[in-house]
Amino acid sequence: MPRRTATMLASTLMLIALLCAGVLINVPYSEMSPGPTVNTLGDHDGEPVLQISGHKTYATSGHLNMTTVRVTSADYKMNLLEAVYGWLSHDNKVVPHDTLYPDGKTEQQSTQENAEEFSQSQESAKVAALKELDVPVKSWVIVSTVLKGSPAEGRLHAGDVIKAVDGTVVKQPTDVATLVTKHKPGQDVVFTVVPAKEQAAAEKANKTATKTEKVTVTTTTSDDSGAKRAIVGISAGTDHTFPFSIDIKLADVGGPSAGLMFSLGIYDKLTPGSLTGGKFVAGTGTIDDDGTVGPIGGISMKTIGARSKGAQYFLTPADNCAEAAKDTPSGLTLVKVKTIGDALGALKDIRGGDTGALPKCTAKG
């Protein structure tokens, strides 16, 4: 066999062997890619994303799009060839599997966690928008979750309203942990609560629940690797009563990152005129009850997805600006926001055509 032919044959066989190895060898990585983007001012699957009743609403125009990231499932086994392709692809991002599913978290657990975060983000979006409009919202601290096998199981229940801990009035969720951890493990904590059923009945009757109970729970030691601290096995959250109905209809989406865009959509529907001036604005960011915008993951995937759908401006959490500015899609302006107030101010500049005044993201933040 001529040397040249033999060399080509050997090279071909080696290439085939490498390709086979690339397909057969699994690597501990997952992939992120741009996901769907949905206009919070429009419809999705045949019905309005934001449905408001019991209060006057106004016509809107333009886009206020929330953005998402698509990720491979927890049990998906990525092979070496797919990982290399992902690393070379501009529109995808390959990350360690543990980044998306830490501590062996299953896809079911991740989905449940994302659903809970999505639900909480909707509540905070409503509160932030109404606060910005000076519409009063009633709020109270509740038992959000009870850890299975913890001292609180069977004594406290999700939805119980926490009025006080050891006689000290609770005003916000963080107060609960602060008061519990003043104890040493093994000591008793006395919770003053309105039972969840009592609270639900009062809300249904549009009344204020007055019946309270005192519940004693013995603390245990946390599983944290650091200093020992007392816990009872609950997480505290906030529940609200709104003066009118605001429903967010969007399925198959999880996580807290749509909070900012939901709040802006609600604000737009409750105020005359158009926030966007007909422009295509997209964005992302968590939001808390006070309107503070927080960072999210997968920012580059979200900017790519937004621009591919036609977005001209992208409302970007300040803490994500530096990363987003490293690879901004052509034609997309990244606008830095820290609060819902910042976002409203930016939208005013956008609809007025004063884009020079926009606080833009840079490589420094």
Question: pLDDT of 117-172, one tens digit each?
Answer: 888 899 999 999 999 999 999 899 999 989 989 999 999 999 999 999 999 999 99
Output the six-digit token pair for 41: 């001012």
> For residues 71 and 96, what is the distance between their CA atoms, to the nearest angstrom?
12
Residue 112 confidence class, pLDDT cut points 50, 70, 90? confident
25: pLDDT strictly greater than 70: no
Higher pLDDT, 270 or 81: 270
Q: What is the mean pLDDT of residues 277-305?
A: 95
Q: Single out the residue of 285, 295, 315 nearest to residue 124, CA to CA.
A: 285
Output the six-digit token pair for 32: 């992120």
Is 343:260 a contact under the CB 8 Å cutoff?
Answer: yes
Output the six-digit token pair for 202: 């009062």
Residue 67 confidence class, pLDDT cut points 50, 70, 90? very high
Q: Single out the residue of 137, 113, 116 nearest to residue 263, CA to CA.
A: 137
Is 289:128 a contact under the CB 8 Å cutoff?
Answer: yes
> For residues 302 and 261, what is the distance between their CA atoms, to the nearest angstrom?
13
What b-and-e string marks burial along 145-172, b requiring 16 or more CB atoms within 10 Å of the CB? ebeeebbbeebbbebbbbbbbeeeebee
pLDDT at 118: 86
Is 41:107 a contact under the CB 8 Å cutoff?
Answer: no
Residues 6+ apart with CB under 8 A from 70: 32, 33, 34, 35, 36, 301
Residue with tokens 């698509």: 70
How are strands ordered across the β-sheet holding 280-283?
Answer: 93-96, 29-39, 63-71, 280-283, 313-317, 333-337
Residue with tokens 């602060």: 178
- Whole-angstrom CA distances from 80 to 14, 29, 74, 285 are 16, 9, 17, 33
What angle, rounded to 10 degrees, do the helices at 259-269 and 340-352 form?
Answer: 60
First to last CA, the chain: 63
Output the six-digit token pair for 137: 């919202």
> For residues 73 and 23, what is the distance between their CA atoms, to the nearest angstrom?
18
Q: Single out the residue of 240, 291, 239 nearest to residue 131, CA to CA.
A: 291
Percent of the chain with pLDDT over 90: 62
Q: Single out the residue of 213, 298, 296 nearest to residue 261, CA to CA.
A: 296
User: Which one-letter amino acid corresponds to residue 24?
Assistant: L
Kindly state the helix (H) or strand (E) to which residue 118 belongs, with its residue range.
Answer: helix 107-132
pLDDT at 224: 64
Residue 19 confidence class, pLDDT cut points 50, 70, 90? low
